């Protein structure tokens, strides 16, 4: 990856809706060269896809919870069953295998406490192999994730 690839990735993280012409002018390459590089970054797996960033408040999802899950066992079978079950619940926005006290950290969004209670009863309580659930609620969002820092990557 060279400085042009890094510049393309930074620009796409900020706004992937730019036209190829706008992007190429911003980067300092021809539109065709910029297009070839984007295609190579997609084919190489550096660009995993494109999506719209939605505003959870506008969607009525005002409550954000971080849920620590501890399992009854660290066996492959227990972990595999848990991970497969997590994939079946769209209410779980993210799931991370952790090092530390909890085995997994989940991120969940709901409209309010009543909505989270439904997620807890209908989703979290049904996950297999769980020995403990600890939930923390976000009071307010200070900074959203807007992409990876790429400065220093590339030539």
| pLDDT tens digit sequence for 62-119 | 999 999 999 999 999 999 999 999 999 999 999 999 999 999 999 999 999 999 999 9
Q: Which domains does the chain have, with CATH numbers?
A: 3-43 (1.10.10.10), 63-137 (3.30.70.920)
What is the dihedral angle through the alpha carbons of 67, 73, 79, 82, rounded to the nearest 10 degrees? -50
CB 36 within 8 A of CB 103: no
Q: Is the pLDDT of residue 154 over 70?
A: no
CB 82 within 8 A of CB 133: no
Confidence of residue 155 (pLDDT cuts 50, 70, 90): low
What is the C-alpha to C-alpha distance for residues 90 and 117, in angstroms, rounded to an integer? 15
CA angle 116, 117, 122 (to 5 degrees): 100
pTM for this model (two decimals): 0.86
What is the C-alpha to C-alpha distance for residues 73 and 104, in angstroms, rounded to an integer? 12
Tokens, residue 31: 């539109």
């Amino acid at each position: 990856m060279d400085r042009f690839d890094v510049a393309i990735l930074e620009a796409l993280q900020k706004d992937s809706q730019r036209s190829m012409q706008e992007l190429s002018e911003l980067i300092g390459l021809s539109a065709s060269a910029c297009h070839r590089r984007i295609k190579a970054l997609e084919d190489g797996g550096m660009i995993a896809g494109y999506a719209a960033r939605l505003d959870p408040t506008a969607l009525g999802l005002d409550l954000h919870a971080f849920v620590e899950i501890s399992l009854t066992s660290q066996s492959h079978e227990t972990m595999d069953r848990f991970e497969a079950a997590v994939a079946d619940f769209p209410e779980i926005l993210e799931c991370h295998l952790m090092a530390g006290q909890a085995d997994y950290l989940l991120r969940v969004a709901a409209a309010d406490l009543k909505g989270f209670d439904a997620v807890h009863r209908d989703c979290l309580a049904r996950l297999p192999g769980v020995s403990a659930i600890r939930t923390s609620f976000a009071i307010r969002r200070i900074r959203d994730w807007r992409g990876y820092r790429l400065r220093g990557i590339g030539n």
